[in-house]
Chains A and B, each alone.
Chain A
């Protein structure tokens, strides 16, 4: 039996258009040759891409954001994976309470967390701005890693790990040689999620940053408010393309290693 839903399809096509519209508008207006941001563009030119890629004010914030995303992932991935493994594989008291505590940064508004940290770091006199941002990002990302890894570990066959133990491998050896390779799809998914979320984070950065360190979302945020320009559209398009690319690679790798 095959039913069709012509009305539903028509409505959904409009909604897909709604989803894509803002992204398409940015990409299209980035090709405008003129000095001002207009839509539709009055011509076709790649000069703003050239301007953005060969230097300019977005370069340094871009590298700051990359550094932050990589450092966050490097800490949050092992920390979150360890916690998820403990919760999934061991029985102990207060397990549910601990899990809720670990996931609570997803529930508490980032805004509150931002003010709380600003007050906290100021009262301690912590001036290392990169460190401040890094710590905050780790707290925000670890719950995502834990959630993804919990799902991954729970899908895994325990018998393989048990076989490894029975055959004489130590628990630590088993974890590194059996468990982690089996959890590769979830590890990859966590890493991609962490990189993208950390790269895009704005609210915490607005609260915690200080002189000398600006992240890319902060620069874009302030340019949207005070300096709308085609080069802003160009850098935004580059980020859109990069995010879609990273997302697709992540999904494809996760799917492939999930199958084998």
Chain B
């Protein structure tokens, strides 16, 4: 129903909203979904997703016709495939390095990946430089998203649905089940004969594949790519989106991204000027306050709030139960609340 509604959205909205709110929410959602996949199924909270999607974006942008970069003039689809392949490979490599680490160490290694990628592209002027690559040629079917945002919107929608369905499918495969076992108790899985590090590295590769799709869409969306779009702030934005939506609920990725891009845009219109304290240029403050409120009110994000409200209602309907007081960790499609993984 949601997908059907989103499919009909272009008839409701003007091209700006379609492009700057919905399309942006969809590609940011895919980037956040790659993080939520890793955190909810693999117990890995990665700050490296921005770096990985940047590798896909920069690879693709260098291969096609563009102003800046290598400008090699490849067919956009071939360049897209190459971008995704290089980023996935890069992800597996990073996964191999990070897979033996847990908790804060894993977080730091993945943060380092994003920072290294940022400085690499900012400093290697033959591949980008600080100014980045402009007027990147998208495939003909996408066209110029500023003039006609529809094709890119549908491409992002289809990609989002495929990513969602794909992750759900993967979670039920033996690989996905083993990954969830590793998330819950790596030592026991090791004892059962599973190669825990390999599993985690491969899962990181899958996360990289998903992130790389977001990377490609982001370049088509802005028609350019520059290190300014993959800096530390963006790395944190992706984490904030995932946490606002719900770090352990796949749907949360797109919910968080939709809320983020809506606030990002409209806070500039609605925010009154209060001296130097508050104003349209204080967007980060607003997001920060919302982030704090959500984290305090519901560690499961917005989707977590829905679920706990629903669980309470159900319990109220059933009458008092033994466990009244604390909302139980409800299982939804194999995803469980797993704050211990943090």
| A and B form one complex | no
Which residue numbers of B lie inside 8 Å of A, CB to CB?
A: none
